[in-house]
Amino acid sequence: MSSNIHFAMGGAIFGEFTAESVQLIAKHGLPGVEPYRGHLTAWLDKPQALKDLLDEYGIQLITASNGGPGQSTEFIDRAKRSETVADHVAFCRDFLKVFGCTHFKINMGSRPPHGTTADDIKAIAETVTAIGQRTLDMGVTIAPHPHIWGPIERPEEVRALLDQTDPAIVSWIPDTAQLNLGGGDPVQLIDDYYDRLAAVHWKDSKASYRGYTGPTPTKEMHAAEILYKDLGAGGVDHPAIWAMLNQRGYDGWITLDLDPPRPNEGEGSVDDKIGINCRYLTETLKVSHF
């Protein structure tokens, strides 16, 4: 049933991305990786060296998230749009294309202190479209990523951004827990905008967040107790999402996008955390291969 879906490891769990990170991904049999540009400082000027390392272990870099030093992530401020567009197009050309990436996952900066307005969403739509028009010429679709504490976090904001952008230019990468914690229904949103998917991120939240529609949990709450839980915690109905993706014939990537473990909250090593989430796939969802 899962023959056309592949799983990747997100880079957040490692922090700075190193050869040891690659070895851990390979140990668990995951065929893909999705690092963050901000954690690739050792590789930004030598992408071919990273590709050679990944090739050695049979791992594909499926995309790299934007951000980090020297790249503007101002998606709302129209005065900074040209810089943001140029920086993203350059990273796509000089880095992502080396790996044969076909989508570019982008976070959209910090949430405005006043909250996100309709005009803010319009500005973001214009900026991602401007980037996407240029990356599409390189065979790469632009894929905004809704995220709590970002300008696009609530379900109505997700829908507004996707409804205001051209499906031929702008795709998206939903994260199951981010949609849930933002007060949305990840099963419904992914199903409604299935045709726009570039890829999907998976992580869970506490079971008490199942069906949550309240205000977005704060950064202070996350500091006190990690909001992002291992798969199987129960806040997100991943079995329903897995069934829906298979029923609809999804043949793309699912990235396990996990934060670094917190030993003070009873979590073990990075190795342990990857193992827990991989076992959820094989034991609970009966995934036959990654």
The H or E element that residue 54 is part of is helix 47-56
Q: What is the domain-level CATH number for residue 44?
A: 3.20.20.150
Task: Read off the DSSP letter of residue 65.
Answer: B
Q: Do 44 and 72 form a contact (C-beta atoms < 8 A)? A: no
pLDDT at position 3: 63
pLDDT tens for each residue of 94-136:
999 999 999 999 999 999 999 999 999 999 999 999 999 999 9
Domain of 58, in residue numbers? 6-284
* CA-to-CA dists, residue 82 to 114, 123, 243, angstroms: 24, 12, 41
Residues with pLDDT less than 70, the chain: 1-3
**Nearest Cα to Cα of residue 252 among 3, 1, 19:** 3
8-state DSSP, 233: S
- 290 domain residue, yes or no: no
Residue 203 is predicted with a pLDDT of 99
Whether 220 maps to a domain, the answer reads yes
Write the pLDDT tens digit of every residue in 41-57: 999 999 999 999 999 99
Residue 289 included in any domain: no
pLDDT attached to residue 2: 47
Q: How many domains does the chain have?
A: 1
Neighbours of 137 (CB within 10 A): 11
